[in-house]
Amino acid sequence: MYPPEFGYFKPQSLEEALDFLEKEDARPLAGGQSLIPMLKLRIISTGYLVDLNPLSSLSFVKDEGSQVRVGALTRHAEITSNTMIKTEVPLLYEASRQVGDVQVRNVGTIGGSVSNADPAADYPSVLTALDAKIVTTSKGGSREINALNFFKGPFTTSLNEGELVKEIVFPKLNGYKTSYVKVVRRAGDYAMVSIAVALRLKEGKVEDVRLSYSGVSDTPYRAKEAEKVLMERELNEENIKKAAEVAASGANPPSDVRGSSWYRKEVMKVITVKTLGDMK
Amino acid sequence: MVKPGEKVKIKVKVNGVQYEGEVPPRKLLVHFLRDDLGLTGTKVGCDTTTCGACTVILNGKSVKSCTLLAVQADGGEILTIEGLGNGKLHRIQEAFSNNFALQCGFCTPGMIMQTYYLLKEKGSEISEEEIRDGLHGNICRCTGYQNIIKAVEEASKVRS
Ligand SMILES: Cc1cc2nc3c(=O)[nH]c(=O)nc-3n(C[C@H](O)[C@H](O)[C@H](O)COP(=O)(O)OP(=O)(O)OC[C@H]3O[C@@H](n4cnc5c(N)ncnc54)[C@H](O)[C@@H]3O)c2cc1C
Ligand code: FES
Ligand code: FES
């Protein structure tokens, strides 16, 4: 299955890539693990692909004390095998090892996944749970966008034409327990529903909690109303159940091959109760 | 820059042999290997990044060659099923044969290349769970997987 014809540009520097992206009808190519299938299925077409892979300056993981920076071109497998990420941003580690399969993780990148903004993808709910920041770059300069404002709809972000995701900044959450749980229809699939939780308890009460879901809305769904139900309260069965109900009632899941809207809401409740219950 | 419709020169080392070719940017790596180089051991199963039949090793990592452009492999090194045993059967191929780990054989080159990658990464300590997780991007419609798992376990214990 051949994709439609396109041209190809291999930039020597980030500046060259940005120049080209601004001038031409062009799309960036990162891991290609979403882009190439979409081209092959002729869901999209483009004049040129600008290959970001030669730009090693976009591939890095940096520990900066209170935060961790991850370059856009960092592969899923590199995130999974990074021991600093495993201890400092465990939620990201947990999500990265559940993306697709080994071959997809060897090639696909975090920047590509975030830019692609599939509502069922794993990273978006992690980014919104952690209040991560997305740093972009373009000819017009650099921007820092809060994850909650970045995802605009299915496969739609606040990136402008010619603008690239450069890196993602994760705050380290000290004293939090975190958990990422994903329910799939079959091994290696996108989430039917997944939940990212960050929780801090103090003397048995919830001091802070973030609940974010993939697969249940047009964008990652940060269930702020459900968080309020838990704040300052005991993490007991009754409160957890109430929070799960509130989270599900605020969601608007699609009905598609992975499950009906009704079923997804049921799954949401079940994994919310189970995940929070395990964190008691 | 390569304009739409134009071809681009690429150089790749496949199974230790240096090749040069001219490809349109949209040519997929698997078609370059099969149609241009005649290395038809690598299969196209699903053509949608799902089945793993097209798995090859590019610069030390297992990749699905139906979802990579041939130009992206420019300057790189590739290992395919043809290059694995150097004319003899590789220990992984022996183990697949010993354990009846194939029936129609269509998934086998991909299974074996992915196994090669897993054993390179994890060594002989690999657990059954790690094998199952490591192979879940490779689909087999015939064997029911049980004998494939046995074969990988056997291969992991044989010294190369
Ligand atoms: C079989 C299979 C299973 C998968 N399962 C999962 C899964 O379970 N969970 C999951 O989350 N994902 C899954 N994926 C998707 C995978 O994670 C992709 O790697 C990811 O969505 C895209 O990343 P990429 O680097 O491959 O980007 P590409 O495919 O190269 O690009 C994707 C899009 O983003 C744009 N882009 C890329 N990089 C940038 C950048 N730096 N700035 C701006 N735009 C950019 C491209 O132009 C394109 O529009 C799966 C994919 C496959 C093939
Ligand atoms: S043919 Fe490439 S994954 Fe199936
Ligand atoms: S042996 Fe037939 S698909 Fe695996």
Over the stretch B88-124, which tens digit does the pLDDT of each residue have?
999 999 999 999 999 999 999 999 999 999 999 998 8
B140 lines ligand 3 (CB under 6 A): yes
* Continuous segment of H or E residues that includes residue A261: helix A261-278
Q: How far apart are CA B12 and CA B9, in angstroms?
A: 10
- Ligand positioned closest to the Cα atom of A104: 1
| Whole-number Å distance between alpha carbons of B5 and B3 | 6
pLDDT band (50, 70, 90) for residue B87: confident
Confidence grade of residue B160 (pLDDT, cut at 50, 70, 90): low
CATH architecture of residue range(s) B8-83? Roll (3.10)
Provide the H-helix boundaries in A122-178. Answer: 123-129, 147-150
* B92-102 residue pLDDT tens: 999 999 999 99
Tell me which chain A residues have a C-beta less than 8 angstroms from the C-beta of B137: 100-104, 188
* Two tokens, residue A76: 């899923």
B5 and A5: CB-CB below 8 Å?
Answer: yes
pLDDT at B159 over 80: no
Atom of ligand 1 nearest to the CA of A166: 41
Structural tokens at position A32: 């290609």
Query: How far apart are the C-alpha atoms of A72 and A135, rounded to whole Å?
Result: 9
Three-class SS of residue B16? Answer: coil
Atom of ligand 1 minimally distant from the CA of A124: 11
CA-only gyration radius of chain A, Å: 19
Domains of chain A: 7-51 (3.30.43.10), 56-171 (3.30.465.10), 177-278 (3.30.390.50)
Q: What is the pLDDT of residue A103?
A: 98
Cα–Cα distance list, A1 to A4, A112, B6, B48, B49 (Å): 10, 22, 19, 9, 12
Q: What is the distance in angstroms between the Cα of B159 and the nearest Cα belonging to chain A? A: 24
Cβ pair B47:A1 closer than 8 A: yes
A84: Cα separation from own chain's centroid: 19
Tell me chain B's radius of gyration from C-alpha atoms.
Answer: 16
Q: Block means of pLDDT (10 residues each) for chain A, length 280 residues?
A: 94 98 97 98 96 97 98 98 98 97 98 98 98 97 98 97 98 96 92 97 96 97 98 97 98 94 97 96
What is B91-157's CATH superfamily?
Answer: [2Fe-2S]-binding domain (1.10.150.120)
Q: Which residue has the tokens 């964008």?
A: A219
Instruction: Evaluate whether B8-83 and B91-157 have a shared fold.
Output: no
What per-residue confidence (pLDDT) applies to B3?
95
Q: How far is the CA of B149 from the centre of ligand 1 (A)?
A: 30
Cα B7 to chain centroid distance, Å, stands at 26
Nearest CA in chain A to B113: A103
Q: What does the pLDDT average to over B15-33?
A: 97
What is the separation of C-alpha A276 from the centre of its chain, rounded to a whole number of angstroms? 21
Q: Quick check: A111 and A80 in contact, CB under 8 A? A: no
pLDDT at A206: 97
Q: Which of A9, A20, A34, A94 to mutate to test the pocket of ligand 1 (most atoms within 8 A of CB)?
A: A34
Going by alpha carbons, the residue nearest to atom 37 of ligand 1 is A112
Per 3-state DSSP, what percentage of chain A is helix, strand, and coil (rounded to 5)?
35, 30, 35
Work out whether strand B8-14 and strand A221-222 pair parallel, antiparallel, or are unpaired. Answer: unpaired
For A33-47, the DSSP string reads TTHHHHHHTTS---S
Q: Which two tokens stand for residue A261?
A: 């809207």
The Cα diameter of chain B in Å comes to 50
| Average pLDDT, rounded, for chain B | 96
- Contact across the interface for A6 and B68, Cβ inside 8 Å: no
d(CA B148, CA B100): 8
Q: For residue B109, give both structure tokens.
A: 């080159």
ipTM beyond cut 0.90: yes
Q: Which residue has the tokens 């838990």?
A: A230
Q: How far is residue A186's CA from residue A110's CA, in Å, rounded to a whole number?
A: 22
Residue ranges per domain, chain B? 8-83, 91-157
